[in-house]
Structure 1
């Protein structure tokens, strides 16, 4: 290899890296842009206290978005995460307050319940062939209805002396416990998606489900597992929110699924399946949290958050269609 070819390789490497990770770079720039804008609007934005608050409040979103990245990478979607979050959170409060169950039992039971909801979704999607949108939309309504039924529309308090509140209110070495849990889930998700066989199966199913099946991958089992993971992640997020607020309610998590989907697609995970990035999801979740926090500090009505979230989803879908998947959009055009 001569000197000129060596230099060409050195110059082309950064370009290839930038091209391969253009989506993550884009959301990173968007995140920085949001931080700069809100830091100019309000002086309280860049304070350490505010950033710890952002990290703590974004933890449930990050947890569920990590699992949703796996779901969307397979080419699916889970609209029931907000309802699952509400049901598990409400039942956790009831179990602690009315049934007197020990908090470890409540935590385990909540995760199992979330996994059960995910298993129902996964069964009808993977084994019965019903589109994920229809199945999870139905589950969204049913699970939210059950949450309303068991709470009768009331908020259920968590006993103030219960150690259950540890997962939502505790601080460890100056870091909120929800943030530590969220980062742990993030690291696990990144390892699973990028460095484990299961993650390769998830990506293969999203890229070409029939090809993955013919290559020997049990596509139905893998698909069902990602929905179980999604349900358990929603359950964990619901218990963290209930522990932090000190009460469970059937109204928790309304519109949460939209924020989760926005975080994932904003992070450049392809809505068509076949490509997912946990790092992008992290940046997407933090961007949404920064927007919500910045609007509040800027004394702008929180109702604008819904508009911002919807706009983000629309732009992310457009980017997925026109930039990240240009061949598909060209074929449709």
Structure 2
């Protein structure tokens, strides 16, 4: 009988290990830089200070919601109702402000309102076991309908007040929405990567039943991510209302698609179990950069959505196919 010998796995180079671990984020970072270079070549105004600040201001609502969506998708779920929640909260806030309510009170009430909507949907998903796609698809329609009933389909002007500074003000030249978006992203990064809650979110997304059997409150974790999604959508709605100076039931139509694209483009797995806030930030900035760059390049508005969709599809395909394949080959070696 021949004795078998045990050999330790050789340690790979730190650079290769780093690339394998962060391949998705590095790929979207490279793609973002290439987009910036391309649009700068088409129009040098793209990298001007004024346009970059405008880009950050425009990207803020998408970024805020995308951070919360990262947690939702990491659990293996999805939230298609975020755009409708933005529209409803946007309209409700405008109505209350026009009615003479103090803006800090309105802001707090709207955040609680967003949390309540998220909890309502989270209950049916986590406790009643109805697929998230179905619950939030119903929410997408019903919530938008409530906003239309409230406003009658008309825009609601918001009186001049300090509330408008949330969307239009600056600090040291940086727009408040950009500061708010980056603050939310930083908080999301810390929670996902450095807290017990973040580890539970990843564990539930990887295998909810296994997480439940080891004592994790899987139902509460799943419900909670929809609560945070509702809160983030309400916060984004306040930013949009303050920037535009009005509330409309038609606000943020289609935003859920941009948000989901930003999260997936950044490397968060639709299957759950893996999420990255850094990738989400880069994904949100990339989508905003594409939209902004196409406008500066004087691409016809009717073609902008086609080009944007094609670019996002190609980028996600490269991210999920090529880099996953490279990582698999390296792990086997």
User: TM-score, length-normalised on structure 1?
Assistant: 0.92
Separation in 2 of the partners of 1:301 and 1:238?
A: 28
Does residue 294 of the first structure (1) align with residue 263 of the second (2)? no
Separation in 2 of the partners of 1:168 and 1:29?
A: 30
Contact 2:263 / 2:279 at 8 angstroms: preserved in 1? Answer: yes
CA shift, 1:310, in A, is 3.2
User: Structure 2 vs 1, CA of residues 74 and 11 (structure 1 numbering), >3 Å: closer, same or farther?
Assistant: closer
Deviation string 1:46-82 (CA, Å, 9 cap, x unpaired) is: 1000000000110001000000000000000000000
Separation in 2 of the partners of 1:165 and 1:116?
A: 25
Contact 1:114 / 1:235 at 8 angstroms: preserved in 2? Answer: yes
Contact 1:73 / 1:275 at 8 angstroms: preserved in 2? Answer: yes
User: Structure 2 vs 1, CA of residues 40 and 309 (structure 1 numbering), >3 Å: closer, same or farther?
Assistant: closer
Separation in 2 of the partners of 1:63 and 1:202?
A: 18
Separation in 2 of the partners of 1:227 and 1:305?
A: 31
The aligned counterpart of 1:47 is 48
CA shift, 1:174, in A, is 1.1
The aligned counterpart of 1:3 is none
Separation in 2 of the partners of 1:121 and 1:319?
A: 33
Separation in 2 of the partners of 1:264 and 1:258?
A: 10
Separation in 1 of the partners of 2:63 and 2:284?
A: 6
The aligned counterpart of 1:215 is 214
SS of 1:61's partner is helix
The aligned counterpart of 2:309 is 310
CA shift, 1:314, in A, is 3.7
Does residue 87 of the first structure (1) align with residue 91 of the second (2)? no
How many residues align? The count is 319
CA shift, 1:215, in A, is 1.1
CA shift, 1:321, in A, is 5.6
Q: Which runs of 5+ in 2 are unaligned?
A: 1-8, 329-333
Match runs of 1:233-312 below 5 Å: 233-312=232-311
Contact 1:259 / 1:309 at 8 angstroms: preserved in 2? Answer: no
The aligned counterpart of 1:150 is 150
Separation in 2 of the partners of 1:317 and 1:121?
A: 28
CA shift, 1:134, in A, is 0.4
Q: Which runs of 5+ in 1 are unaligned?
A: 1-7
The aligned counterpart of 2:38 is 37
Question: RMSD of aligned C-alpha atoms?
Answer: 2.0
User: Structure 2 vs 1, CA of residues 19 and 270 (structure 1 numbering), >3 Å: closer, same or farther?
Assistant: same
Deviation string 1:189-246 (CA, Å, 9 cap, x unpaired) is: 0000000000000000111111111111100001111000001100110110010000
Separation in 1 of the partners of 2:75 and 2:238?
A: 27
CA shift, 1:318, in A, is 4.0
The aligned counterpart of 2:331 is none
Separation in 1 of the partners of 2:34 and 2:10?
A: 32
CA shift, 1:177, in A, is 0.4
The aligned counterpart of 2:72 is 71
User: Structure 2 vs 1, CA of residues 19 and 70 (structure 1 numbering), >3 Å: closer, same or farther?
Assistant: same
Residue range with higher mean Cα deviation, 163-172 or 32-41: 163-172
CA shift, 1:164, in A, is 1.1
Deviation string 1:252-275 (CA, Å, 9 cap, x unpaired) is: 110000000000000010010000
CA shift, 1:303, in A, is 3.4
The aligned counterpart of 2:127 is 127
User: Structure 2 vs 1, CA of residues 51 and 90 (structure 1 numbering), >3 Å: closer, same or farther?
Assistant: same
The aligned counterpart of 2:109 is 109
User: Structure 2 vs 1, CA of residues 321 and 251 (structure 1 numbering), >3 Å: closer, same or farther?
Assistant: same
User: Structure 2 vs 1, CA of residues 303 and 260 (structure 1 numbering), >3 Å: closer, same or farther?
Assistant: farther
CA shift, 1:151, in A, is 0.5
CA shift, 1:322, in A, is 3.6
Contact 2:31 / 2:315 at 8 angstroms: preserved in 1? Answer: no
Separation in 2 of the partners of 1:297 and 1:223?
A: 41
SS of 2:301's partner is coil
CA shift, 1:12, in A, is 0.6
The aligned counterpart of 2:229 is 230
